[in-house]
Structure 1
Amino acid sequence: MSATYYYTVFFILYSVVAFAQTGNINGSVTTDDGRPAESVNISVKGAGKGTVVDRNGNYEIHNVPVGVHTMTASFVGLGTQVKTVTVTSGGTAVIDFVLPENSARLREVIVSSQLSANKPTVIAKIPLTNLENPQVYNAVSVELLKQQVITSYDDALRNVPGITRTWEATGRAGDGAAYFALRGFDAQPALTNGLPGLTSGNLDPANVEEIQVMKGPSATLFGGSFYSYGGLINTVTKKPYLGFGGEVTYNLGSFGLNRISTDINTPLSKTEKIALRINTAYHTENSFQDAGFKKSFFIAPALAYEVNDRLSFQVLAEILEEERSVAPVFFHSDRLSPLDFTSIEELNLNNSLSFTSNDITIKNPKYNLQGQMVYKLADQWTSHTVISRGTVKSNGYYTYIWDDVAGDNDFSQYFHKEQQTTNTTVIQQNFNGDFKIGTLRNRLLIGLDYYDRNVIDHGSGWGWARNVTPQGDVNYIDPFTGEDMPPVYLTQASIENLLGGLEGVNSNISNSSYGAYFSNVLNVTPGIMAMVSLRADYFDSKGEMNTPDDNYDQFALSPKFGLVYQPVLDKVSLFANYMNAFINVSPQQVFDQDGNYLRVQSFKPEQANQLEYGVKTNLFADKLYATVSVYDIKVSDRVYPDPQNPNNSVQGGKVGSKGIEFDFSAHPLAGLSVIAGYSYNETQVIEGNDNDFYSEPGRSPGGQGPQNLVNMWATYKFLGGKLKNYGLGIGGNYASRYKVIDNSQTGVFYLPAYTLVNASLFYNGEHVRIAFNMNNMADETYYIGYWSVNPQKGRNFAASVAYKF
């Protein structure tokens, strides 16, 4: 037999013997007022073992070598507690800790900590620390939002490596939330607490505890109801806790920013574990341009009821009422003709112009209700049942500008009245187990989910209103006929008159998806873990309610694999993953080249597959976290125009995205925190149509974002002396020049590179927090875009005053 065989047998026998000489430790950690002490670090000295206390104050450490060990319970900013434990072979030692802090103090420290990389999360729907998870992810904490005086959800993501906004929320139906480029593909904030949380406008940050950006194709656990080729953005909301507390905050800033928000938590019973938390915000803000505004009211009540040690309930509601006047997206190409302007300098866009008025508004109300039941079936098994119901609306006017006829300085402006409602229902059942088969630890997830979406659309037709130039000149000459048309003014009455004679939409579409999935993390040894995951997904579209022949269904399998090797336990992690995502593709009608109807063409789901490898570290007693990863994503089965017949579509297009990411988070000195990141991405079409704007091989598909991105933020808080509780922060972002149009027929258009520098001063005392932030200190002129040009704010400030109780 080969030497490899003998090595394998020896390795297995050695592992069995090693596991036979180990035991387990578990217990609870509470504060001196009897509350669970979440997120406290538990370590076993000399054994290379440790974990983090869960939300119920419990912890478990497996496969600890037999013998007498010293255990430490600690948390940054709090004292430590040391105990001795004796571990016997195959036995379980129970060690409990009581920290000399009350629950309010502990929660303040937890919220203030930016170094949450070693805290177990449910990004994998299995409690895994960052070093145990083969997937790359980043998180933005609520404390960081407060430090940077962030009042816009989108601005929070400037702290995440490898993601950049490509345009702001438009409010239009279906996809009106902000667009981001993530690993070269579209991403929107589509998840709330791991469930679909669609929006047609902005998200309010008042109820945000953490924003998680999961990198790479992510359909295996989260389904294919939204694009996740480059990753997903998940919003984790604030949860009630058993104690009284909260804060009231007032924000003010440039361009008429005024915002007041409250966060109040209170127990509802002296004998039962019931707590209520309510977050609210009222926000008004103008634009940096000549017109534009935002006005919103948000409220999010959440109720938690812990019936006993085994059963708990949580109910969350989010209600957002928002009205805005939104600047149109400026598309500077007709996607066919050579570009008239090949640079920002040639386009000469007047950035102070909005091309709209405050009389032309859109409303985007959002309602979301989530209910969760957690039941501990046994010591090793837990059941999570979740039901979610959501409604988002687009009601008002959407407008865009684009180059109808190339060769002149005129751009057509079109208007449309949005009247769409999207209703969603989600039911999800997960079972989590943590058990051993022989000596091998398994963390198993088994899940089922159901997702239903109904879209009702009664919007108007599209109406040409006028021509504009980038410098702001206006005329009413029809770009196709050359006729003088009646003026259309930027008032609701004038736009209604324009749209009144156009044929509108009367649509009612329903579809559903049914998913079954499992994921298992197997500890081959304490330092070697393997993840195997698979989803089976059935998509059923009923199509239009009144059109019986447009129904269709599709089936997809979505696998996910991961390997983790920790050469230094809980310190260094080498990882690799294979991840998948898919999107269902609607059938399309086929016509011949003369426009005669032929048939309906069906398609398979699109597929995205990623290979990634890298290293994660947690060094110097939780003071330094870093991740470096290299990825390669291939999207296949894309549908694109038939090169032989523009009235037909074919399947088989491919797009590739590859890159590298670096993420760094450090706490080198008491009071000093630093986060930084760098990413490089290259995205291009591999197979497609040489004559199509979006799918020309060898070209960028659009919306992929700048190739190089850098983010950095450092804060220092004085912990003693006359400046105690004062602090300062500085950081910013860099983006390299960005190829927003890349096509042999139209030419190439770059948005210029930019560097933004931001800084803050703050005081964060026991009851009062005051912060002042200056953004874009150098008053840099910069742009974002998809295949568009979207001007951004110049120098601006934001300040906040908060009272904590």
Structure 2
Amino acid sequence: MKYFISCLTLLLLSQFSFSQSATVRGTVTDNNNAPLMGVNVLIKNTLKGTQTNDQGAFEINSLSNGDYILSLSYMGFKTQEIKFSVTDNQSVDLSTIVLYEGNEILSEVIVEAERRNKFSRKETAYVSKMPLKNIENPQVYNTITNQILISQSVNTFSDALANAAGISQLWSSTGRSGDGAGYYSSRGFAVQPQLVNGVAGITNGFINPSNVERVEVIKGPSGTLFGSTVTSYGGLINIVTKKPYNSTGGEITVSGGSNDFAKLNVDVNISDGEKLSFRLNGGFQKDNSFQDAGFKKSVFIAPSLSYKVNNKLSLNFSYEASGNEQTNETFLFLNRYGPLAFNSIDDLNYDTHLSFTNNDVTIDNITQNYRGEIAWKITDNWSSQTLIAGGLAKSLGYYTYLWNFADYTDPAAPVGTENFSLNVQDTDSRTKTLNLQQNFNGTFHLGDLENKLLVGFDYLDSKIIDNSSNWGYLHSINLQGDLIYGEPEISAENLRTALSGSGNVDSDVRQNIFGAYISDVIHIIPSLSVMASVRYDRFDYEGDQQTDTDDDTEYTESTFSPKFGIVFQPILNELSIFANYQNGFSYVNPQYITDFATGDVSLQSYDVEEANQFEIGVKSSLFHNKLEATASYYNINVDNKYYWATQTQDLEINSQGIELEVNANPIEGLNIHTGFSYNDSEITDSPSAPGLEGNRYGESGPEITYNFWTDYKFLKNFGVGAGFNGASEYDTMTDYKSVTGSFYIPSYTIVNASVYYETDRYRFSIKGNNLADTSYYSGWSTVTPQQRRTVLGTLSFKF
């Protein structure tokens, strides 16, 4: 009997093994017969999948008899589905499969377990608005992947951006009217995150990383393709949100830690595996300040839908709504109009545990962003993308700040004493945007020259209505918390009293921008390509502001913006040398100027500001993409820069520097991400304020920034991560130091580390931030103390 059972068992196991022995294999190329590495290959309605190797080949084993659908997806290329059948347990060879280029439409299913260099993700259709590999793109951009965010247990957008080479925080998000998003310095100029999925998006408040698939930091003046509204001369920040995929599953994440931090996130995707996919992502997050008062709370919900009408037509829609409540983070505004009584943190003698606020005094931000897309594959070589997007943001509540004021009781005292006045505004503003965009992408030949062509149009309408109060004064204090003058208690009731009779801003501003652009990448030979692009932009401004004239302001201006680039690949698809010329521009809103001699008020209009960058560098994707690196030198010149203090347009600025970014996978399980930047910025000419000449431009932040993170996974499920980021000392008053003297934000290095245990279903991690409990600061003519040491635990469950 035992012999019979053993034989039967062996027979059944052999039959099972035999029934699962079939294989499907193939090779994936683009339409130029170049192999595509890292293509995601998934058998629909199963958990079986892989990625292509450096030769474009793939193989999926252990298939039983039956009918299957193979889905192949790759960023910047059209997803393709192929039906095949397994009969008599015979393997299937699909030979060569060609993927055709097109806009980035769906978030593909990523088989993360098969990724070699997990911190590398350069494939994107947003940066050039056309499918262009990083190594053949003459523009520099940094990508912060979802894998980095997970490895670092990132819970704030500023922590995410700390991974981008050359990016430093100037201001954290204030939530105030008009410009409440955070400010960051890039290549010597301030930039805000104002691009979501390639179109204008409102980020006026806390950005929850739980709905971020990746962040793309695009470097240098980028007006040719993106206009002036969402860019700065140092670049722009594009937030790519999570989108539906073609299978059913999800993830639940809970976190807790220092300062009563708590987080819950639920992410669910439902798909019929064929045409319709729906994803719902939502969550709640809160934490308290390390100071004596202060908190942030955020809740968001983000549904998204994708419908594949057929192989040529896809419809996509995404929406995100968030509600944020926070106290005002401590901002010490240093006096700009006379000599300061201090020039360093030590001289300031600030007890950083004091917040100078109250948890009853808050500002609320309600934001909504939506994006609808029609993606149409006209032919194998031509595609169309039609976009409609928009947003709404509200700022409601009290915005306060501390201003370093003059000591008028002692005429001999420096203007900037150690005392600060608390100023307040009752904010009531809303911003509404509408963005329409149409892009056509095509590949064609003129003789032996291959052309990749982009033709596009966009229209952006934005309206800002501000019914906030004018500013009021509550009290004066020193930085040890002692009351100098005024009402001692910070409360909503006292702030209302301080604002009584102050009146309102009553501003209603509308901007309409129409842009048309064309970009052509010409492959002269496989290893040599050139890019030529140009944009026409027309700007219309209508303003109704509270002035003595009570007149509406109308202003129209237009400009052209060119862009050129060249790429040579001495090792095809592995090493490139590039150079670019990029242009950026900015429309300056007209201003009412008062002649103090006569009291007359007149309207002053301004020319368009211009920025021009020249850059040269090297990109690599060596050793089967185990070493991805970008190194470059840039030089940016800005003419006609408007200076707010004199209301004149005569500054000239030069900003130059070097940047390095490396993503490496030297051995199995070990991933490294690092970056370094040096920036030299100078105001080269300033006729209306000669004292500025030779100074570093105020938006530039520190000269040197650096970041490093490494993640090592061992024994299959265990892992450790460690890294640091920091910046050099810089003068936060450099724009004003001829009058005020300097104030130096000290250099810093922050050390972080994590340990984790991860399976296909679970991930548990413990992360320590600022392990040395370093005191450090940010500022832009301001001083803001940053987060001290925190410990965070995170548990994720996948289903």
TM normalised by structure 1 equals 0.86
For 2:137 and 2:742, how far apart are their aligned partners in 1?
A: 40
| Partner SS for 1:170 | coil
| Partner SS for 1:280 | strand
| 1:66-102 C-alpha deviation (Å, 9 max, x unpaired) | xxxxxxxxxxxxxxx99897xxxxxxx7569xxxxxx
Residue of structure 2 equivalent to 1:18: none
Residue of structure 1 equivalent to 2:600: 597
Residue of structure 1 equivalent to 2:680: 682
| 1:754-799 C-alpha deviation (Å, 9 max, x unpaired) | 1111001011101000011101111111111111111111111111
For 1:398 and 1:364, how far apart are their aligned partners in 2?
A: 12
1:734 aligns with 2:720: no
- Alignment partner of 2:296 out of 289, 294, 297: 294
Aligned-pair distance for 1:55? 5.5
Q: Higher mean Cα deviation, 547-556 or 435-444? A: 547-556
1:327 touches 1:355 (CA, 8 Å); kept in 2? no
Residue of structure 1 equivalent to 2:747: 753
Residue of structure 1 equivalent to 2:55: 43
For 2:40 and 2:395, how far apart are their aligned partners in 1?
A: 48
- Alignment partner of 2:145 out of 138, 141, 156: 141
% identity of equivalent residues: 40
1:433 aligns with 2:436: no
1:398 touches 1:415 (CA, 8 Å); kept in 2? yes
Aligned CA distance change for structure 1 residues 26 and 683 (closer, same or farther; 3 Å): closer
| 1:334-390 C-alpha deviation (Å, 9 max, x unpaired) | 212111001111101111011100010000010111101100111111000000120
Aligned-pair distance for 1:57? 3.8
Q: Higher mean Cα deviation, 499-508 or 317-326? A: 499-508
Aligned-pair distance for 1:53? 6.7
1:488 touches 1:498 (CA, 8 Å); kept in 2? no
Aligned CA distance change for structure 1 residues 525 and 327 (closer, same or farther; 3 Å): same
The amino acid that maps onto 1:262 is V
Query: How many residues of Structure 1 are paired with residues of Structure 2 in the alignment?
Result: 723
Residue of structure 1 equivalent to 2:615: 612
After superposition, where does 1:81-96 map in structure 2 within 5 Å? none
- Alignment partner of 1:706 out of 702, 718, 721: 702
1:40 touches 1:53 (CA, 8 Å); kept in 2? no
For 2:266 and 2:404, how far apart are their aligned partners in 1?
A: 46
Aligned CA distance change for structure 1 residues 26 and 138 (closer, same or farther; 3 Å): closer
Residue of structure 1 equivalent to 2:333: 331
Aligned CA distance change for structure 1 residues 397 and 26 (closer, same or farther; 3 Å): same
| Partner SS for 1:684 | strand
Aligned-pair distance for 1:471? 1.5
1:659 touches 1:682 (CA, 8 Å); kept in 2? yes
Residue of structure 2 equivalent to 1:220: 224
Q: Higher mean Cα deviation, 407-416 or 672-681? A: 407-416
Q: Higher mean Cα deviation, 699-708 or 439-448? A: 699-708
Aligned CA distance change for structure 1 residues 94 and 717 (closer, same or farther; 3 Å): closer
Residue of structure 2 equivalent to 1:672: 670
After superposition, where does 1:453-472 map in structure 2 within 5 Å? 453-472=462-481
| Partner SS for 2:673 | strand
| 1:369-422 C-alpha deviation (Å, 9 max, x unpaired) | 110110011111100000012001110111111122125332111011110000
1:379 aligns with 2:380: yes
| Partner SS for 1:265 | strand
The amino acid that maps onto 2:315 is F
Residue of structure 1 equivalent to 2:532: 532
For 1:592 and 1:139, how far apart are their aligned partners in 2?
A: 49
1:711 touches 1:733 (CA, 8 Å); kept in 2? yes
Aligned CA distance change for structure 1 residues 26 and 309 (closer, same or farther; 3 Å): farther
For 2:116 and 2:796, how far apart are their aligned partners in 1?
A: 15
For 1:529 and 1:58, how far apart are their aligned partners in 2?
A: 27
For 1:151 and 1:664, how far apart are their aligned partners in 2?
A: 23
2:474 touches 2:494 (CA, 8 Å); kept in 1? no
For 1:112 and 1:319, how far apart are their aligned partners in 2?
A: 35
Aligned CA distance change for structure 1 residues 317 and 416 (closer, same or farther; 3 Å): same
Over aligned residues, Cα RMSD in angstroms?
2.6
Aligned-pair distance for 1:688? 1.2
Aligned CA distance change for structure 1 residues 458 and 741 (closer, same or farther; 3 Å): same
Aligned-pair distance for 1:206? 1.5
For 2:754 and 2:738, how far apart are their aligned partners in 1?
A: 45
Aligned-pair distance for 1:37? 7.3
Aligned-pair distance for 1:135? 0.5
2:532 touches 2:565 (CA, 8 Å); kept in 1? yes
Residue of structure 2 equivalent to 1:194: 198
The amino acid that maps onto 1:764 is E
1:587 aligns with 2:590: yes
After superposition, where does 1:220-239 map in structure 2 within 5 Å? 220-239=224-243
Aligned-pair distance for 1:739? 1.3
Residue of structure 2 equivalent to 1:400: 401
1:703 touches 1:785 (CA, 8 Å); kept in 2? no
Aligned-pair distance for 1:586? 1.6
| Partner SS for 1:255 | helix
For 1:615 and 1:552, how far apart are their aligned partners in 2?
A: 43
After superposition, where does 1:86-485 map in structure 2 within 5 Å? 106-109=110-113, 114-117=118-121, 119-267=123-271, 269=272, 272-332=274-334, 334-405=335-406, 406=415, 408-476=417-485, 485=486
1:568 aligns with 2:560: no
2:54 touches 2:624 (CA, 8 Å); kept in 1? no
| Partner SS for 2:780 | coil
Aligned-pair distance for 1:439? 1.7
| Partner SS for 1:551 | strand
Aligned-pair distance for 1:598? 6.0
The amino acid that maps onto 2:792 is A
Aligned CA distance change for structure 1 residues 451 and 528 (closer, same or farther; 3 Å): same
| Structure 2 unaligned spans of 5+ | 1-30, 58-72, 82-90, 100-106, 407-414
| Partner SS for 1:266 | strand
| Partner SS for 2:502 | coil
TM normalised by structure 2 equals 0.86
Aligned-pair distance for 1:556? 1.3
1:689 touches 1:696 (CA, 8 Å); kept in 2? no
Aligned-pair distance for 1:448? 0.4
| Partner SS for 1:285 | strand
Aligned-pair distance for 1:537? 0.3
| Structure 1 unaligned spans of 5+ | 1-21, 46-50, 60-80, 86-92, 97-102, 477-484
| 1:571-599 C-alpha deviation (Å, 9 max, x unpaired) | 11000011111111122234435143264
Aligned-pair distance for 1:30? 3.9
| Partner SS for 2:287 | strand
For 1:425 and 1:393, how far apart are their aligned partners in 2?
A: 16
For 1:359 and 1:329, how far apart are their aligned partners in 2?
A: 18
For 2:318 and 2:179, how far apart are their aligned partners in 1?
A: 24
Aligned-pair distance for 1:243? 0.5
1:790 aligns with 2:794: no
1:113 touches 1:143 (CA, 8 Å); kept in 2? no
1:226 touches 1:583 (CA, 8 Å); kept in 2? no
Residue of structure 1 equivalent to 2:88: none
Q: Higher mean Cα deviation, 249-258 or 599-608? A: 599-608
Aligned-pair distance for 1:286? 0.5
2:369 touches 2:389 (CA, 8 Å); kept in 1? yes
Aligned CA distance change for structure 1 residues 402 and 226 (closer, same or farther; 3 Å): same
The amino acid that maps onto 2:365 is N
Residue of structure 1 equivalent to 2:717: 725
Q: Higher mean Cα deviation, 769-778 or 695-704? A: 695-704
Aligned-pair distance for 1:724? 2.2
For 1:162 and 1:113, how far apart are their aligned partners in 2?
A: 22
1:52 touches 1:120 (CA, 8 Å); kept in 2? no
Aligned-pair distance for 1:650? 3.0
